[in-house]
Amino acid sequence: MSTATHEETLGFQTEVKQLLNLMIHSLYSNREIFLRELISNAADACDKLRYAALDNDALYEGDSDLRIEIEHDSKAGTITLRDNGIGMNREDVISNLGTIARSGTAEFLSQLSGEQQKDAKLIGQFGVGFYSGFIVADEVVVRTRKAGSAAFEGVEWRSKGEGEFSVADIERDKHGTEIVLHLKEDAKEFADDYRLQNLVRKYSDHIEVPVRMPKTETAKDDDGNDIEGSEVTTWETVNEATALWARPKSEVSDDEYKAFYKHIAHDFSDPLTWSHNKVEGKLEYTSLLYVPGRAPFDLFDRDGARGVKLYVQRVFIMDDAEQFLPLYLRFVKGVLDTRDLSLNVSRELLQQDPKVDKIKSALTKRALDMLKKLAQDKEQYQTFWNTFGSVLKEGPGEDFANREKIAALLRFASTHTDTAAQEHSLAEYVERMKEGQKKIYYVVADSFNAAKNSPHLEIFRKKGIEVLLLSDRIDEWLMSHLTEFDGKSLADVAKGDLDLGDVENEEEKKAQEETAKAKESLVKRVKEALGDQVQEVKVTHRLTDSPACVVLPEHEMGYQMRRIMEAAGQTLPEVKPILELNPEHALVARLEGANDALFASLAHILLDQAIIAEGGHLDDPAAYVKRLNSVLTA
């Protein structure tokens, strides 16, 4: 290696400086993961070279035996990790080792609090990769050369992780990357054969690329005695070095499955569950899918990286192959290895290959079956739902073919318990339905408390009929696509005519008709007072405590969805509500005896209060306050 030339000192990206500082302190208690992260990166580099060499075998430069090597020098306090993978050029080094090119990085960093335990979990969601070396090292040196480039195009990168790094051109005979960690005083315990081998087996046994460490052996004479001066150093493979997904399920332990998940997901925590499956026949592929235990920081970025790692005949093709799972399952991680795609397949070709659609359909069902099985453990499934439920709710609108399966996996809050926990399934609701009840009822509001206290629930509480309480931003959109479950239609209690089915007897229905007839003149007078502010006025039997409520036509967009659309800049046509009056309420009784001026004020007040109770916004709040004050002081 010749003397370095063309050396320059550059500053880390601001986000890198923040991450380095927090990571070094937050991950102190779990320092040993640095080796897992560096080995994982080296394995990825080998995968990328194997893929690139499909089109250009010369990239191997006569060395196609891909491997990762680890050495240590306990006296010098260093650990050296090298691979003969794809390597980097000067531009790659500056880009990959000086910046974090991930969308949402700034938002992620803003969530970090400085609390060690809390931040350790968040950083685990983000993935630390190369920078994990600074957890144990006070200086890191990287020497690398991109496969296919000339020897003089090698690059050396150095940094103490304190805000800047240097990059210099060097002569480097071999392609690939070498990382030298100059260990901190309190981390020199890692410069030990036994410790390093244990860490490799603990975290990286499943890596398909062999991880080798030097082993010194002494020749022996015929009597079994050591021959002085005959020491020979050989390289010993210390990991399993076979594709974990290609091994029979019976031969893979739970700990190995968990370790492999952490490798592919760059996550610190264990997965909730996994599904390992081999398919033979017209299509041949092996899949290993995982449900994470925690959400990635960019879960709600629908354009973010997602999907499985794709292999063709065990040759790595691409990370984040999103074509094999629908968007609503973007939290699922895993590996797909198939024989039925070309080794030269690209993202564009994947979109045109009918085999991809067949595999996607099969993997989607596999993932949903995995969740169905997880749901048998109520506590575990609740953990999943609290983390990924809002994303799964996108499913019925995106995947018509599996709508019933997805519906069975949904969970909701309910008047059955009146708690905000979304823990009730539609199947459980159906089991609890009252005799004569034909529909599944729900109410949508901006918050759980608004839903729980909606005036529309009054008759349902009186009759002991359960209502689902929906308050997530996506809920109204979800219900526009989920109209039926188990042969029962779903009905929004705040839309259309109220139909309690056979829960109401004929006497009750007759009494309601008689009341409506008796109040015809009152209803007409209220409609005249409100004019075109309402579509219709009628007497209701929905209410027991409230004087009035507003109801929207059955197929009209609800107030929650209207607010979301308007906030997004959409212009929506005006919708006029139906005002329903409770004939048993004292305020409605007061209406009947009021003079024209008071009548008009009371009618407007009842309408405005009903809109507010529904979570709507008044066009003229000041007019409402003025009317209310005039009535209170009359």
pLDDT of 156 > 90? The answer is yes
Q: Are strands 488-492 and 211-220 parallel, antiparallel or unpaired?
A: unpaired
Correct CATH for 506-632 of 3.30.70.580, 2.60.40.10, 1.10.240.10, 1.20.120.790: 1.20.120.790
pLDDT band at 2 (very low <50, low <70, confident <90, very high): very low
Residue 113 has a pLDDT of 55
* Continuous segment of H or E residues that includes residue 164: strand 164-170
Radius of gyration for the alpha carbons in the chain, expressed in angstroms and rounded: 33
The answer to which of 106-115, 347-356, 465-474 has the lowest mean pLDDT is: 106-115
Tell me how crowded residue 611 is: count the other CB atoms within 10 A of its CB: 21
Higher pLDDT, 413 or 102: 413
Mean pLDDT across 461-476: 93
The pLDDT tens digits for 3-26 are: 556 788 888 767 677 767 766 666
Please give, one letter per residue, the 3-state secondary structure of 91-141: HHHHHHHHCCCCCCHHHHHHCCCCCHHHHHHHHHHHCCHHHHHHHCEEEEE
Tell me how crowded residue 237 is: count the other CB atoms within 10 A of its CB: 14
Determine what percent of the chain is predicted with pLDDT higher than 90. 50
Beta bridge partners of 177: 83, 144
pLDDT of 101 > 50? The answer is no
Residue 449 has a pLDDT of 92
Residue 297 has a pLDDT of 65
Coil, strand or helix: which one is 144? strand
pLDDT of 270 > 70? The answer is yes
Mean pLDDT across 575-599: 87
Residue 1 has a pLDDT of 44
Q: Which segments of the chain belong to CATH 1.20.120.790?
A: 506-632
Q: For residue 294, which of 336, 327, 261, 257 has the smallest C-alpha distance?
A: 261
- The H-assigned helical ranges of 308-415 are 347-350, 354-374, 378-392, 395-398, 403-409
Residue 566 has a pLDDT of 73
pLDDT of 184 > 50? The answer is yes
Determine what percent of the chain is predicted with pLDDT higher than 70. 89
pLDDT of 320 > 50? The answer is yes
CATH of domain 244-385: 3.30.230.80
The pLDDT tens digits for 553-584 are: 887 787 777 777 777 777 777 778 899 999 98
Beta bridge partners of 441: 467, 491
The pLDDT tens digits for 375-433 are: 999 999 999 999 999 999 999 999 999 999 999 999 999 999 989 999 999 999 999 99
Beta bridge partners of 215: 234
The pLDDT tens digits for 202-223 are: 888 878 899 999 988 776 777 7
Mean pLDDT, rounded, of the chain = 86
Task: Kindly state the DSSP code that residue 28 receives in the 8-state scheme.
Answer: G
Q: Which segments of the chain belong to CATH 3.30.565.10?
A: 5-237
The pLDDT tens digits for 157-166 are: 999 988 888 9
Q: Which segments of the chain belong to CATH 3.30.230.80?
A: 244-385
The pLDDT tens digits for 509-535 are: 888 888 889 888 898 999 999 998 999
The answer to which of 81-90, 136-145, 391-400, 592-601 has the lowest mean pLDDT is: 592-601
The answer to which of 66-70, 216-220, 258-262, 378-382 has the lowest mean pLDDT is: 216-220
Q: How far apart are CA 509 and CA 516, in angstroms?
A: 11
Residue 103 has a pLDDT of 45
Q: Which fold has domain 411-503?
A: Rossmann fold (3.40.50)
The answer to which of 45-54, 209-218, 307-316, 478-487 has the lowest mean pLDDT is: 307-316
Please give, one letter per residue, the 3-state secondary structure of 535-569: CEEEECCCCCCCCEEEEECCCCCCHHHHHHHHHCC
Cβ contact 292:331 at 8 Å? yes
Q: Which two tokens stand for residue 517?
A: 């007839």
Residue 206 has a pLDDT of 77
pLDDT band at 457 (very low <50, low <70, confident <90, very high): very high
pTM of the model: 0.74
pLDDT of 126 > 60? The answer is no
Q: Which two tokens stand for residue 97?
A: 């080792």
* Continuous segment of H or E residues that includes residue 511: helix 506-518
CATH of domain 5-237: 3.30.565.10
